């Protein structure tokens, strides 16, 4: 896979793409970046509970999967110069809404007040063992 790439857009703004294959980041199975910083905005791709070798963590355990997924979100944000504290919007996909309470239990430990706005929807995920997917949008320098 590829390492992070920095480039300037046509308006002179710098963009940083975080790519799969970097130490400590999850490996992806499709052609996309894990995250991008464009000016003061940071966007992560939807992250799932896999480790750097594509192993699914916590099969059948929504708490373990949510924690690993948020670890991946945090790692991508860090590569883009952001933290979980900079997150303003989160989207969560759950395979089954019976997992909503367990996901929320772990999610609450990752975000301090005021928590980011969020959406949570039920969806079929790309692999049947995946119970959760999470993406985040962060703003740098917004304190």
Give me the number of domains the chain comprises: 1
Cα–Cα distance, 32 to 133 (Å, whole number):
15
Residuewise pLDDT in 10s, the chain (143 residues)? 345 566 555 555 688 888 887 777 887 778 889 999 999 999 999 999 999 888 999 999 999 999 999 999 999 999 999 999 999 999 999 999 999 999 999 999 999 999 999 999 999 999 999 999 999 999 998 55
Burial (Cβ within 10 Å: 0-12, 13-18, ≥19) of residue 108 = exposed
- CATH number for position 120: 3.30.1330.40
**Cβ neighbours of residue 55 closer than 8 Å, sequence gap 6 or more:** none
Cα–Cα distance, 29 to 49 (Å, whole number):
13
**pTM of the predicted structure, to 2 decimals:** 0.90
Query: Domain range holding 31?
Result: 5-139
Confidence at residue 106, expressed as pLDDT on a 0 to 100 scale: 98
Confidence at residue 64, expressed as pLDDT on a 0 to 100 scale: 98
Would you call 80 a catalytic residue per the annotation?
Answer: no
Of 41, 56, 120, 125, the active-site residue reads 120
Confidence at residue 22, expressed as pLDDT on a 0 to 100 scale: 74
């Amino acid at each position: 896979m590829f390492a992070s790439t920095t480039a300037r857009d046509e308006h002179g703004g710098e963009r940083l793409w975080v790519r799969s294959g970097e130490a400590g980041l999850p490996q992806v199975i499709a052609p996309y970046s894990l995250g991008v910083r464009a000016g003061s905005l940071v966007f992560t791709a939807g992250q799932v509970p896999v480790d750097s070798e594509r192993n699914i963590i916590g099969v059948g355990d929504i708490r373990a999967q949510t924690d690993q997924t948020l670890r991946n979100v945090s790692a991508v944000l860090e590569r883009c110069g952001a933290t979980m504290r900079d997150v303003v919007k989160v989207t969560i996909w759950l395979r089954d809404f019976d997992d909503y309470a367990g996901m929320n239990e772990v999610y609450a430990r990752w975000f301090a007040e005021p928590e980011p706005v969020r959406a949570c929807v039920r969806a079929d995920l790309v692999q049947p063992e995946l119970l959760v997917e999470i993406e985040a949008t962060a703003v740098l320098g917004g304190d």
